[in-house]
Amino acid sequence: MASLRVALVQHASGLEPDANRALLDALAPSGADLVVFPEAFARDFGEAGSDVSGYAEPPDGPFAREVERVAGDRGATLLAGMFEAGDDPDRPFNTLVLRGAAHASYRKIHLYDSFGYRESDRLSAGDPVPVVVDLGGFGVGLMTCYDLRFPELARGLVDAGAEVLVVPAAWVAGPHKVDHWRTLVRARAIENTCYVVAVGQPGPRYTGHSMVVDPLGEVVVEAGDGPDVLTAGLEHTLLERARTTNPSLANRRL
């Protein structure tokens, strides 16, 4: 049965795009099927409310091309976040680019207008369309950071065939934030009987705690708040066993 080896790269992005592109090659490990970097890895958000439009790139621009090159070099699929130029030149998309054995882009749907932030002032929201790809015999669905707080998106991805939810993030540090992150990652796994692979930027600005949770809610691996690279194996047999033990998806009435 299918298995998928994932690597979670918990590392901070800086304000210089050239340096961040170089980190893709420097940090991506060998031996993984899927390597996940955090949200906004092409260039950090900067100070809260900063204009990031000058750092927006097309989905085949320098950052995405380097993601694809490193994926090919490692024989893997890479996922990382960037700002993507769109119709509104002042408000780009917050986009994930997936390159390698699978190819997709996902524009963040839920912008972080919460906890005193106004991401929508500087970024445009993507259309609410689930993005799911087949990778190594698993359906892999894409979400970004604040999307984690919206269970209907996770369920929509699972209804579209996702068996693994991958969540790159830059989860801002603060009171309750690590607890919210850990609780929500486990909840999305338990309620959807799926794997969740959640990768954040590290402290002190962000919370870190990248983690993999299995379809029964067990934490497979978890980082602290500092830079780290984690690996984990996802097993399709465990997913099937979980959905037999807890057939909540089949038992739905709404």
The pair of structure tokens assigned to 193 is 């009987």
Dihedral angle over CA of 18, 211, 99, 86, nearest 10:
-70
Q: Report whether 194 contacts 215 (CB < 8 A).
A: yes
Give the active site residues: 39, 108, 145
How many helices and strands, by DSSP H and E, does the chain display? 5, 12
What is the b/e burial string over 47-71, where b = at least 16 CB atoms within 10 angstroms of the residue's CB? eeeeebbebbbebebebbbbbbebb
Question: Exposed, middle or buried: residue 251 (CB in 10 Å: 0-12, 13-18, 19+)?
Answer: exposed
SS3 content of the chain, % helix, strand, coil (to 5): 30, 30, 45
Strand, helix or coil for residue 81 = strand
